Each structure stands twice: as C-alpha cells, then as structure tokens.
Amino acid sequence: MPRLSKQERNSGCYDERAERMDRAERTALQEQAALRIFRHAAGHAPGYKRFLAATGVVPETVTEIGAFSRLPVLKKNRMPEFHEADPPFGGFLAVPAHQLKRIYVSPGPIYDPEGRQEDYWGLRKCLYNVGFRPGDVVMNTFSYHLTPAGIFLDEACNGIGCVTVPTGVGNTEIQVKTMAGLRVSGYIGVPSFLMSLIKKWEEPGSGAGGDLPLEIALVAAEMLPPSLRAALNAYGLIVRQAYITADLGGVAYECPAEDGMHVSDDLYLEVCDPLTGEPLPAGSIGEVVVTTLGNETYPLIRYGTGDLSALAEETCPCGRTSRKLRGIMGRADEVTKVKGMFVHPRQVDEAAGRFVDEVEKIRLVVTREGVTDVMTVEVVLKPGVAAAESLKCGLEERIREATKLRGNVKFVAALPEGSKKIEDRRTWK
C-alpha cells in the first residue's frame, strides 16, 4: 500500500450523518436513549435493580432526563465488591451468559462480558476518525489474553479494512523486524512502547534500516504528554490518542484538530461532582460518568469511571458536532493506571496480606523515568524482622501476581503520616 498523505488520513468521517448531526437533535436522541436503556437495565439486570433499591430509587418515577441525572452514580471501584457478592457479573448482565461472545478478566479482578452485536465496543469509528484507513498494515501491541484491549482493537481494525499484525506486548527485537519486513504503516498500543520500538529501530544491528514505515498511531491506556507527542511527530508520525476502557470500549477519540477528544455518539456522557454525582457545567473538572446507550447485554447506567476530565462546548474545526472531553486529568480515587494497567489499593493490600507477620505498612509509589512508568513498593517491616533478600523477592513476586506488573520493593523505616496506599508522583510535560 502506498504511503497516504496527512490530508488523506485527516479527511472524511466514519459516519457522516451521525458525526455532523445538529447538536440539539443529537442531545434529544441521546436523552431518549438514556431513559430507554435505564428502563431496560432496571428490568433485566438484577444487580442494578438491587443497587437502585438500596439507594431508594423507584425506577417507575424516572421518566425525564432531570430525574435520570439525579440517579446514583454506579462507581467503577465498587464493581469488584458487587461481582464478588453475586458472581460472576454482579447481577449486571441483562442476558443469559450463554448468549455472550467472550468473557474477559480485568484487573480487580472482575469479568467483563462481550455481547454478539457487531462492533460491540464501538471502536471502528474511533480508528477511522483517528486516521487509519482500509489497507493499512497495523501492528497491535496490546495484550491478547485475559484483558480485552488486544482483541477488541483487532476486530475494529478488521471492521474498517485494515490488516492486523497481532504482536502483543514485549519482544522489541522481533517487533522491529516485523515492522521492517511487513512495512507496517499503523501502530496501536501505549505511547511509551511506541517510542521504545522507534529507538530500537535506530540501533545499529537492529535488522531494520531505512526509513521508518509507520505513518499513523493510536495510543491509549497511558498519558500522552506534549513532549512525547512532539518527539514522536518528529519521525513523521501522526499520533493520536483515544479514551478506551475494558468495560465501555471506545469512549472518546482525537480528531485531526488534536484538541480534546470527541465523545462517542453511542454513549451519554456527563462530567459530575465526584462526591454528589451532580452534573457539572462545561469547563468544570469532575468525574467522567457514562451511560451505554445501545448495550442491552451489559447496560451500565451513570457509571462513574473514576477518571477526571472537563467538557468543552466550542465548535471543533473538524466539523464534528459531538461534545468533547478536554483530556484525562487524573483520578477521582486512588486507583492509578501504570503501564496501561489499573492498580487498585486493595491489590497492594492483597500482596501484603501474604506477609502479615513481617509487614507493618506498605504503599506503592509511581514515578516516571523518561517515557517509562516505574513502580516502587515501600515497605515498613515489623519490629525484629530483618530486611532479607528472600523477603524482598517474595514481596515482589506477590506484587506481580496481584497487579500483573513488576514493582521494586524498597524497605523503609517509616511512611509519612496519612500517606495514601498509592502515591502517583509522575509529572506530564
């Protein structure tokens, strides 16, 4: 496939009518759809019905969007609790389990179901509008096992006519040779790994050589600071980000303007006060709260993602009329994303729980070296316990089992008073 110009990648819409629809018309349709999917969830998902009953909500009284926006927010960080109480899906599945296409295992752990409807995760529009085109040879570096990212982005590539190379994570030497051998034009994965691949490409003896074939990259699951985007752009790459989660699929994506992310038309999205759940006006920073409009398999109603952002109302020069998120601005809780994986405080406690006779206190500190996240586990030992290498190795093994990430254990004399279980010290420039 010949190289495409930036103009070719930046022009056109996946769904012209939906993306350029009058904003008032879209809002009215989404509000009607939100009320309809709420009624469906209240009638078919017993876990959601219990959740409403526990908060005193009578579903029959929710007949207009004002009442809908006062519904309690279903917090993502409570889902493991609900799933454990009513396995395997917490009662939020609204169809018989045998009707599912796949079941994924997400960190937490919880099970994320996938229904059989076409483009279930709504990612085809995301990929096309970011700049991928039919015929692109795309290297998908997200994991293909347990978690959904690899498979659902693979299917989205297939759905818009791309050729997918399912490389998954790691193996930089093989991936660089694959890029060269297949003249890979597209990349999907975290931005730090993309830079690692490019640096490996430049090393003498890498087996690559010649001009970098990559033209377009979709990055997700990590922050994309301006400095890293600029460094990647310097190689002639279009690099755009998307907001994608394991339970919602494609939430928002960047267009050629690269100024905020367009919210998917398949979702009703609010930015709310993290404590009260009250919707906030455009420009105010709050928790991203999402309702899945067309998903009757696993309907999530006013689902609090824990991510912080703000809505922008201004018109986008690309011509799309959907509302835009200004970007992900942090977390409303202590759950932290490291190397594209969510790490929960309870996972840290779970790892320490294997060493109740040795560990007094524990916390996880996240820093950044270059473009790579670094996880350090600070441990205070009980009086009389020696800081042995075997104990250090055992703790590191348990941390890896609990979080699916490597963390370096560091024994310390004390932790700061009132310190969080997870401290994020990363800065984004």
> Do 152 and 243 have their domain in common?
yes
- Residue 124, in any domain of the structure: yes
pLDDT of residue 209: 67
Q: Are 284 and 227 in contact (CB under 8 A)?
A: no
Query: Are 320 and 354 contained in the same domain?
Result: no
Asked whether residue 278 carries a pLDDT value surpassing 90, the answer given is yes
The domain that contains 363 carries what CATH number? 3.30.300.30
Residues 6+ apart with CB under 8 A from 68: 31, 34, 35, 38, 62, 302
Q: Which of the four pLDDT bands, split at 50, 70 and 90, describes residue 371?
A: confident
Examine the fold and report which residue of 278, 305, 333 is the final residue of a domain before the chain moves on. 333
**pLDDT tens for each residue of 77-127:** 899 999 999 999 999 999 999 999 999 998 767 999 999 999 999 999 999
Whether residues 317 and 397 fall in one domain: no
At 227 the three-state DSSP class reads: helix
Domain count, the chain: 2
Q: Are residues 362 and 305 in the same domain?
A: no
Within a domain: residue 159? Answer: yes
CATH at 203: 3.40.50.12780
Mind listing the pLDDT tens digit for each residue in 21-71? Answer: 999 999 999 999 999 999 999 999 999 999 999 999 999 999 999 999 999
CA–CA separation, 199 and 234 (whole Å)? 13
Same domain, 255 and 304: yes
My answer on whether 319 and 362 are in the same domain is no
pLDDT of residue 165: 98
Q: For the chain, give the mean pLDDT.
A: 93
Query: Does 362 share its domain with 320?
Result: no
Tell me, what's the pLDDT at 282? 94
Residues with Cβ within 8 Å of 16's Cβ and at least 6 positions away in sequence, in order, are none
Query: Average pLDDT, stretch 328-340?
Result: 82
The verdict on residue 404 lying in a domain is: yes
Whether 307 and 353 map to the same domain: the answer is: no
* Residue 329 and residue 346 share a domain: no
Quote the domain boundaries for residue 375: 338-424
